[in-house]
A and B are shown apart, each in its own frame.
Chain A
């Protein structure tokens, strides 16, 4: 627990001026305050994101022509591996829970900090150590990891690059993720303000809470799987080595037992935040609060039982494939419930399309395309045709970048004024969104078409007939990156030169908008008492204002 005496001196000022024991950057990296840890993650995650985007752009440049010599085949292998590892394990999985979960979960439930502040800081150090180990693996052996982010055996047992170090790094990142999940579950159960029942929690908290359970329950499985690869490489224990009787398929099972639920770790928190945005920007209560809350839990639980749909063509039993396919289709139900409820929330609302809401709307569009293409892959017959093609790559980026990524950007634009007390330029943010959205679709829609036409993924060259579409995709990627550049530039400019933000720029009704922007170190001056649900629209203040105008 944060010490009261320590914070008392600065309790009035914004959180980032409350230096605690040490000033400056040292104050940041030793502070156990949940908001500072959130910012530590924000800086780290966005830095890794930038690196992985650059890797992606380099790969797209390679694909400009079928006989391009820009990258060697080996280098291309390493690039898509690193792009995948960094994006999945360093950006998308930790992303929203560590940045916005840390910064806002305690505020949203009327608490002072997370349940275990020291453990929280420790998990940031674990995360950074894991990142350093994973990226450090490039420096040793013969080149960077080239196995794909999935580390599939038997290749990962034989390649000459430094797989053991990379998988150990992933193990550390997994531990960090477990500790974050544990912290979020405990915080949600223990530290809610008086009157904050489970059904009065904002839906973003439901998203974080469901995710945290998956983090605690699924991550250990990837942990042990990575350890087994390590032991296999170092001691040759044989469990995945066919020459010793081991079964490589079992590796795939263990890997996807975690890595499919991991997709829900990525998307659920974003869905939660989107659910918070719709009532605010539609000036209307959320449609179907409980169904959205329960659909998060449904996605978390059913989503843990669908891993086999990654293995339709692996030779697993047909019965298993049919069951996995059925369960996969079932996940579409709670996902669709959410989408319909968001759209229904706008019905007869007073919709105001501010930048955060633009990203929320973008989320719905892109997530829907991602979800529907997911059904193509979840169906047994069509999957055979599209398996391991650009179609999978396109689908995955629609879900994860279009879903989680746009959710993260929505959250960033929604909470930026609250976190830093600064306002960014709305017009620039809108332009950035449009450029990003156009580039995104030009890029990934083309990948879907290419995949459908038979372009396999992970190849550094291709047949001449794909040239036109490959060029369009690459141009799309440039437009997309330009959009990202404008977006981050706009926010960075606002951080240093932005105008002061109001306490409640969007007219929100959840707890974070009732405290100053930026919040004080201790969040609330006195413990809030909750008497109603999170979304109360139209708000009293709005109707009074409207009355005066008349």
Chain B
């Protein structure tokens, strides 16, 4: 009943926020399912254009970054070793950066092939492929934006740990940042097969 423990409240708030994030992407997944059901062949053909190697690499990077994020939280909450937390947080941010670099290469390659919204090359393709790339850029773009936000949040938490503002007793913010990062990871786990592995 009465529970004025702020860390529990913060966690409840965070889960609600994550729920709203899932529904934000939910709208896009809804569009994806409708259009894929309508144009299965075009989606298959368009998916062939993506680099499965880059996608797999990025999946590995992001999964590892989730591991380091957990390690960062665990190091502070259970082991009370702030230095280790700082190291793992730094590693998570670095993995996030690596993910964005790979993504940037991927996107650049698509641009060079003229596979971007409104490009003359793409407009000559069948509607299903136009929609596929429209959704591809929207969904991976929105996801990349979340990666950037996540890295920013983790950097702020990192500075908290360095300055001693986040400690074993006051670790709610760190834990919430970790949760957010996992959400970013989970969304990618869905994006990866839906875009890269359907051909």
Contact = CB atoms under 8 A, between A and B. Distances in A.
Interface of A: 1, 115-116, 119, 178, 181-183, 185-186, 189-197, 216-221, 223-225, 227-228, 231, 235-239, 244-247, 250, 253-254, 257, 527
A1 B6 contact: yes
Given A224-B27, A238-B134, 14 more contacts: A115-B9, A115-B13, A119-B13, A185-B16, A186-B13, A224-B26, A235-B118, A237-B137, A239-B138, A245-B39, A250-B31, A253-B30, A254-B31, A527-B2
Most buried by A among B17, B25, B138: B138
Given A228-B138, A239-B134, A190 B9 contact: yes
A182 B21 CA distance: 12
Contacts of A225: 27
Contact of A192 (B1, B6, B10, B131): B1
A178 B20 contact: yes
Given A193-B2, A244-B134, A237 B27 contact: no
B90 interface: no
Nearest to B12: A186
Contacts of A193: 2
10 contacts: A189-B12, A196-B1, A197-B1, A216-B20, A221-B27, A225-B27, A235-B118, A237-B137, A245-B39, A250-B31
Interface residues of B, number: 39
Nearest to B42: A245
Contact of A216 (B2, B16, B130): B16
B117 A190 contact: no
Contact of A254 (B8, B30, B35): B30
A182 B30 contact: no
B127 interface: yes
B7 to A, nearest CB: 11
Interface of B: 1-4, 6, 8-10, 12-13, 16-17, 19-21, 23-28, 30-31, 34-35, 39, 117-118, 123, 126-128, 130-131, 134-135, 137-138, 142
Given A190-B9, A217-B20, A239-B134, A247 B2 contact: no
Nearest to B119: A236
Contacts of A197: 1
A245 B125 CA distance: 11
Interface of A is mostly: helix
B41 to A, nearest CB: 13
Given A217-B20, A220-B27, A254-B27, A182 B13 contact: yes
A224 B26 CA distance: 9
Nearest to B134: A237
B20 A182 contact: yes
The 6 tightest CB contacts between A and B, nearest first, are: A245-B127, A237-B134, A220-B24, A224-B27, A236-B118, A220-B23
Contacts of B13: 115-116, 119, 182-183, 186
A190 B20 contact: no
A311 to B, nearest CB: 15
B2 A191 contact: yes
B19 to A, nearest CB: 6
B127 to A, nearest CB: 2
A195 B17 CA distance: 28
Nearest to B1: A192
Nearest to B118: A236
Contact of A182 (B4, B17, B24, B25): B17
Nearest to A178: B20
B111 to A, nearest CB: 12
Nearest to B123: A244
A167 B13 CA distance: 27
A231 B117 CA distance: 10
Nearest to B135: A239
Nearest to B27: A224
Among the interface residues B25, B31, B35, which one has the most CB atoms of the partner chain A within 10 A? B31
A345 B155 CA distance: 56
A116 B17 CA distance: 13
A255 to B, nearest CB: 10
B20 A219 contact: yes
B134 A190 contact: no
Nearest to A235: B117
A244 B127 contact: yes
Contacts of A1: 4, 6
A185 B103 CA distance: 37
Nearest to A529: B2
Contacts of B117: 235-238
Nearest to B22: A220
Nearest to A197: B1
Nearest to B31: A239
A216 B25 CA distance: 14
Contacts of A245: 35, 39, 126-128, 130-131
A118 B117 CA distance: 40
A250 B25 CA distance: 15
Contacts of B23: 217-218, 220-221
Contacts of A189: 12
Contacts of B26: 220-221, 224
Contacts of B135: 237, 239
A389 B4 CA distance: 52
Contacts of A223: 24
